[in-house]
Structures are given as C-alpha cells and as structure tokens.
Amino acid sequence: MGNSQKSEFCLKSELLQEIPNVFHGFGCRLGPRGVLGELAAVRQLLGIPASNPLAPGLIQQEHGVEIATVVSPIAIDLPKADGAVTEEPSIYIGVRTADCLPVLVAGKHGNAVGVAHSGWKGTLDGIAKKLVQTFWKEFGVAASDLIVSIGPAIGACCYQVSAERIALFLERYPELRPEITGWQGCLDLGRIVQHQLELCGVPSAQIEQIDLCTECHPELLFSFRRGDVAPARQFSAIAISRIVD
C-alpha cells in the first residue's frame, strides 16, 4: 500500500508520525541492529535529537507471547519477552526481526507506546491481542485509542508453509480461510494480525500495514528465508519524548 516513507535506513509510519511526542522507526539493512553501543543509530532511527535523553528498554525475544512492562532502562538481564510497553519518556523499546512482523503501537494521545515481535508462533498464539490487553491493564488505554503500524515482514507472496501449519491457523481462526490460504498455501501474517487487532476493538482506520515483503526486497531488508543469518536483523523501535523540538 506504500503508506510509509522509505529510506535505506528506515521506514516511517504515517499514522504514528501524527503523534507529536512519539518517535519511531522500522529499521532496514543499514539501520541499527538493536544492540548496546548503538545509541546514535537508534537516535537516527527514531529521529530523536542528541539533546534529548534516551535509554534502552531491551527484551530477549523467544517466540512467546510475554509482554514486558518497562519502567526503567534495561540493558542487562533482559526480560524474556516478545513484546514491551512503556509510558516512561526517553526509554526506547524495540524488536529485532527478519521475516517476522514488527508491530509498533502508541496511544493516540502519546501517553504510552508498545512493540511486539509476531512470528508465526506469536501470531498463532495472539501476541497482538496480548499487547492490546496490556495497554488497558497497565495504562488504562483502550483499544479504540490505539494507533498500530505493522512493519515490513515476509509477505503472502513468499510465505509458503506446510499444510500442517495452515491447519493450525485454520483451527484457531476458521473465519480467515480465504485470507490465509489465498495464494497457494501462503500465510498472510500481516492480515492475520490486523484481524486480531480488529477483533480486540482497534478501529481499522487506526491500523496500518507497511506491506513490504522482506524476501522480495534484498536491497532494503534482511530475510531469514532468503538466507540472512543472525545478527542480520532489522531493529524497529518506538519511544516517547516529552521534549519535542
């Protein structure tokens, strides 16, 4: 759909950019890898000026559905989680992905932000739903007040999977059959996550799909399926900054 702004360094969501004190970026090949010592690259990804404070709130991903609530900077002893939320300004939270979906979320008033790494397992188990529930539980932000951008990931054009995996999704989301098997047995993870968000009450108009396939764009994005091995991963992040230049 191309609703995003693209550079070799990162992609931006038009919806999230409308929130003045929320800074975000979906990293590309030339973007940061999300490890320590890359604060300058993360600043560039987020577009936060060097004059503003910024600290990491990192997680250790394990293809689960845990969501960490970040209340202070985390750079060691990372919590095992595939999503994070925070309402603390100046702490960035992020996820590393190659073909899995990076999902960035913000309350529309800029009072809380969240991220999720939704691979096929996390998508099957509904990490997006868990993220939406966590915004309500932790911050009192309703699904109807969330802005969500689903970043670059392997598309339905390339994500051919086994009949067994298709069957798992059919069992969990029987209403989705035409979408998930719409192209020669390929899963459309982005559309499944969008469906999950809508079921939770996030308005369709507040959900954006970047719709850029990682496997189809070797010049721009890493892809596990295409053969890029760790640490060749995109790092996507979001943060609140109360200082807006």
Token duo for residue 239: 């943060």
Phi then psi dihedrals of residue 137, to 5 deg? -65, -45
> Of the listed pieces 49-57, 77-85, 97-105, 150-158, which binds Zn ion according to CB under 5 A?
150-158
User: What residue is closest to Zn ion based on CB?
Assistant: 213
Spatial neighbors of 200 by CB under 8 A, at least 6 apart, are 128, 129, 132, 133, 143
Does 190 interact with Zn ion (rule: CB under 5 A)? Answer: no
Q: Which of 24, 183, 52 is nearest to 110 (CA)?
A: 24
Binding of Zn ion by 161 (CB under 5 A): no
* Minimum CB distance to Zn ion, residue 217 (Å): 8
Q: Which is nearer to Zn ion, 42 or 154 (CB)?
A: 154
Gap between the Cα atoms of 36 and 43, Å rounded: 13
Tell me the helices (H) and strands (E) count for the chain, helix number first: 7, 12
Which of 126, 199, 127, 194 is closest to 156 using CA atoms?
194
186 near Zn ion, judged by CB under 5 A: no
Mark 202-221 with x for binding to Zn ion (rule: CB under 5 A) and - for no binding: -----------x-xx-----
Tell me whether residue 145 or residue 215 sits nearer to Zn ion (CB atom). 215
Minimal distance, residue 110 CB to Zn ion, in Å: 33
Contact positions vs Zn ion (CB under 5 A): 155, 157-158, 213, 215-216
